[in-house]
Amino acid sequence: MGQDYYAVLGITRSAHHAGINQAYRKLALKFHPLKNSEPAAPHRFKQIAEAYDVLSDPRKKATYDKFGEEGLKGGIPPEFGGEGAWTSGYVFHGNADKIFKEFFGGDNPFADFFKPDGSEVITAFGGLRGRGVKKQDPPIERDLYLSLEDLFFGCTKKIKISRRVMNEDGHTSSIRDKILSIDVCPGWNQGTKITFTNEGDQGPNIIPADIIFTVKEKPHPRFKRQGNDLVYISNIALGKALIGCTVAVETLDERLLHIPINDIVHPKYSKVVPGEGMRLSKDPNQKGDLIIQFDIQFPEHLTPQKKHLIRQALLS
């Protein structure tokens, strides 16, 4: 008669996945050779690991429940097991420490439960300190590209992600889509981060990763952003740079501004229009400035008559 894996873990045959995990956790910590100095502890620790290895796997468990240890380890002919029957026979790899580490997480999880002398590490709340059954995956970082209009007015962006989700049986998983909604606030700056906690892939021994979106600004056809200000480049002829002109600028909210330029426009000159820049994230009713810079268009050639007129105007 084969060994009773349920009896090894001290559970009934009706135990669910959570009960199997709980029983293994309790017994593995109790009989780990570093904690338990009894001569039989290593053998008991290995028995517990093998029982958990079988009962935590739906396929192994189903074969064991139907055919016992002999059928599980000897292999089941297809005529008895049906399609997908366990035909090769189960062999326990014998590495109880490997199962212990996979269950508790980390390269050396036992060090978080006990000191080198085998005594328990106790927290202020009376429990064992350590990673626990699960550990969290590193964050998943993605760029969120937004137009200046999106950042000026604010908007809602819906992003579809595909992630691995654990099924109700606690053993298997499947890929499912989910829609994440981001409410963009007016005035957000490039580099703003939006975090969705635990929205990464799920797994039996992990805490899903956080998904972090970082705001990136799309290039704009008219403006370049500098903090809360907007920079606009106006192309004007040399003559207008000298005698003045009016610059028309269409704003992000589709108003047309007519800005008079009465100064002489030199290469380093800029015109500041207060309150016509980006909205401020702390107070959307306030805005930065519009800064008009100039690209002066010099003529490629001049007729002798025009050169004479310019000479008279500038050198007289």
The full set of domain ranges for the chain reads 5-56+95-112, 135-217, 223-315
Which of these CATH numbers, 2.60.260.20, 2.60.40.10, 3.50.30.40, 3.40.50.300, describes 223-315? 2.60.260.20
Q: 135-217: CATH homologous superfamily?
A: Urease metallochaperone UreE, N-terminal domain (2.60.260.20)
Write down the pLDDT at residue 134. 63
**For the segment 272-285, what is each residue's pLDDT rounded down to a tens digit?**
999 999 999 999 89
Asked whether the domain spanning 223-315 has the same topology as the one spanning 135-217, the reply is yes
Per the prediction, the chain carries an average pLDDT of 84
Measured between alpha carbons, how far is 259 from 249 in angstroms, rounded to an integer? 8
Q: Which of 183, 191, 194, 188 is nearest to 148 (CA)?
A: 188
Judged against a pLDDT cut of 80, whether residue 115 lies above it is answered with no
* 3-state secondary structure (DSSP) of residue 279: strand
- Span 139-165, average pLDDT: 93
Q: What is the model's pTM?
A: 0.56
Write down the pLDDT at residue 111. 54
In CATH, the number for domain 5-56+95-112 is: 1.10.287.110
Write down the pLDDT at residue 275. 96
Q: Which amino acid is at 36?
A: N
- What is the pLDDT confidence band of residue 121, given thresholds at 50, 70 and 90? very low
DSSP alpha helix (H) spans, the chain:
5-9, 17-31, 41-55, 58-74, 78-81, 96-104, 148-153, 238-243, 304-315
Write down the pLDDT at residue 205. 73
Judged against a pLDDT cut of 60, whether residue 231 lies above it is answered with yes
Write down the pLDDT at residue 88. 64
**For the segment 188-221, what is each residue's pLDDT rounded down to a tens digit?**
999 999 999 999 888 777 788 999 999 999 999 9
Q: Which of 194, 189, 260, 269 is nearest to 229 (CA)?
A: 189
Q: Which sign does the torsion angle of CA 24, 27, 29, 31 carry?
A: negative
Write down the pLDDT at residue 36. 86
Residue partners of 142: CB distance under 8 A and separation at least 6: 211, 212, 213, 214
**For the segment 3-31, what is each residue's pLDDT rounded down to a tens digit?**
899 999 999 998 888 889 999 989 998 89
Write down the pLDDT at residue 274. 97
- What is the pLDDT confidence band of residue 122, given thresholds at 50, 70 and 90? very low
